[in-house]
Amino acid sequence: MISKDPFQTLYREPLHQGRKEKFSSGKKGGEFGYFLFREIRLSRIAFGGYRIGLEDQEHKEALQFALHSGVNVIDVSANYGDGEAESLVGKVLDENFKKRHLHRKEIFLVTKAGYIQGRNMKLVESKEKEKDQFPEITYYQPGCYHCISPEFLEDQLERSRKRLGLSTIDAFLLHNPEYFLSHSEKKGVPKEEAQAEYYRRIKEAFQFLEKARKEGKIQFYGISSNTFPLSEEEYTHTSLSKCLQIAEKIAGKENGFAVIQFPANWYEDGFLRNRSQGKTLLEICSNFDLLPLINRPLNSFQAGKGMVRLSYTHQSQAPDQSKILQILELESSFLEPLSPNPNRNSLSKLWQIYGEKVRSEEQFQVLLQKSWIPILRGIIDEIYSEKGKESAEEYLRVLNTALPLLEEQIRIRSSENLSGLYESLVSKYHPNGNAPESLSSLMVFHLASLLEKGVVLLGMRKRKYVRDILPIFKNGLPEIPRSEWGENGIRS
The pLDDT tens digits of the residues spanning 400-438 come to: 999 988 988 887 777 667 888 999 999 999 988 889 988
CB–CB of 473/32 below 8 Å? yes
pLDDT of residue 1: 44
3-state secondary structure 249-271: HHHHHHCCEEEEEEECCCCCCHH
More confident site: 285 or 29: 285
pLDDT of residue 492: 55
Q: Please report, as a single letter, which amino acid is at residue 48.
A: G
CA 355 – CA 352 distance, rounded (Å): 6
CA 41 – CA 23 distance, rounded (Å): 6
CB–CB of 312/439 below 8 Å? yes
Helices and strands of the chain, counted as H and E runs: 17, 17
pLDDT of residue 360: 74
pLDDT of residue 29: 47
pLDDT of residue 302: 79
Q: Which of 44-53, 188-197, 310-319 has the highest mean pLDDT?
A: 188-197
**214 pLDDT tier (thresholds 50, 70, 90):** very high
Mean of per-residue pLDDT scores for the chain: 92
| Residue 277, helix vs strand vs coil | coil
**314 pLDDT tier (thresholds 50, 70, 90):** low
pLDDT tens digit string along 263-292?
Answer: 999 999 999 999 988 899 999 999 999 999
Tell me which H or E stretch contains 138. Answer: strand 138-141
| Residue 189, helix vs strand vs coil | coil
pLDDT tens digit string along 316-349?
Answer: 555 578 888 999 999 999 888 999 988 889 999 9
> How crowded is residue 410: how many other Cβ atoms within 10 Å of its Cβ?
22
pLDDT at residue 27 tops 70: no
Which CA distances in Å does 150 have to 137, 208, 445?
11, 6, 38
pLDDT of residue 489: 84
Q: What is the pTM of this model?
A: 0.85
| Residue 342, helix vs strand vs coil | coil
User: Among 171, 163, 151, which Cα is nearest to 42's?
Assistant: 171
CA 113 – CA 37 distance, rounded (Å): 23
pLDDT tens digit string along 136-148?
Answer: 999 999 999 999 9
pLDDT of residue 311: 81
CA 68 – CA 53 distance, rounded (Å): 20
Query: Where do the H-state alpha helices sit in 9-117?
Result: 57-68, 84-98
Domain ranges of the chain: 8-309, 321-416
Which CA distances in Å does 235 have to 173, 181, 261, 283?
22, 7, 19, 23
| Residue 457, helix vs strand vs coil | strand
By percentage, how much of the chain surpasses pLDDT 70?
Answer: 96
pLDDT of residue 15: 97
Query: Phi and psi at residue 207, in whole multiples of 5°?
Result: -60, -45
CA 295 – CA 260 distance, rounded (Å): 11
CA 290 – CA 260 distance, rounded (Å): 7
Class of domain 8-309: alpha beta
For residues 451-468, average pLDDT: 95
For residues 84-93, average pLDDT: 97
CA 19 – CA 217 distance, rounded (Å): 10
Q: Which residues contact 5 (CB under 8 A, 6 or more apart)?
A: 123
| Residue 303, helix vs strand vs coil | coil
